[in-house]
Chain A
Amino acid sequence: MGSHNIVRTSRKRDTTHIRNTAYLFLAPALLPILVFFFLPALAAFVLSFTDFDIYSLGDFRNARFVGLKNYLQLFDDPLFAKSMVNTFYYVLVGGPLSVAVSLGMALLLNSKLARFKGFFRTVYFAPVVTTLVAVAVVWRYLYHPRFGLLNYGLSLVGIDPIDWLGDPTWAMPAMILLSVWKSFGYNMIIFVAGLQSIPEELYEAARIDGANAWQQFTRVTAPMLLPTAFFVGIITMINNFQLFAEPYVMTQGGPLNSTLSVVLLMYQQGFRWWNMGYSAAIAFVLFAIILAGSLIQAAFQKRSALTT
Chain B
Amino acid sequence: MTRRMALHIAMAVIAGLTLIPGLWMVSASLMPAGEASSFPPPFLPSRVTFEHYAELFTRLEISRYLLNSIIISTVVTAISLLFNSMAGYAFAKYRFAGRDKMFRFLIAEMVIPAQVTTLPLFLLLNKLGLVNTYAGVIVAGMATIYGIFLIRQFALSIPDSLIEAARIDGASEFRIYWSVILPLCKPIMVTLAIFTFLTVWNDFFWPLIVLTDDSMYTLPVALAILSGEHVRDTELMMAGSVITVLPVLVLFIALQRYYIQGIMMGSVKG
Contacts and interface: CB of A to CB of B under 8 A. Distances in A.
A113 interface: yes
A133 B220 contact: yes
Nearest to B205: A244
A172 B83 CA distance: 41
A195 interface: no
Contacts of A54: none
Interface of A is mostly: helix
Contacts of B143: 28-30, 32-33
Nearest to A25: B90
B78 interface: no
A25 B116 contact: no
Contacts of B267: 190, 193, 228, 231-232
Interface residues of A, number: 93
B145 A33 contact: yes
| Chain A CB within 10 A, most for which of B11, B116, B123 | B116
Interface of B is mostly: helix
Contacts of B168: 7
Given A242-B115, A245-B205, A138 B223 contact: no
Contacts of B164: 7
B7 A114 contact: yes
A37 B115 contact: no
Contact of B87 (A28, A131, A271): A28
Contact of A141 (B15, B118, B234): B234
A37 B144 CA distance: 10
Given A36-B139, A130-B249, A25 B86 contact: yes
B120 A44 contact: yes
Contacts of A14: 167
B253 A122 contact: yes
B227 A137 contact: yes
B243 to A, nearest CB: 9
B48 interface: no
Interface string B104-119: 0010010111011111
Interface of A: 7, 14, 17-19, 21-23, 25-26, 28-30, 32-33, 35-41, 43-44, 47, 57, 60, 105, 108-109, 111, 113-116, 120-127, 129-142, 144, 146-149, 152, 181, 186, 189-190, 193, 228, 231-232, 238, 241-242, 244-245, 248-249, 263, 266-267, 270-271, 276, 279-280, 283-284, 286-287, 290-291, 294
Interface of B: 3-4, 7-8, 10-11, 14-15, 18-22, 24-25, 28, 36-41, 43, 82-84, 86-87, 89-91, 94-97, 99, 106, 109, 111-113, 115-124, 126, 139-140, 142-145, 148, 164, 167-168, 173-174, 177, 198, 201-202, 204-205, 209, 219-221, 223-224, 227-228, 234, 237-238, 240-241, 244-245, 248-249, 252-253, 256, 259-260, 263-264, 267-268
Closest 3 CB pairs of A and B: A43-B120, A29-B87, A22-B94
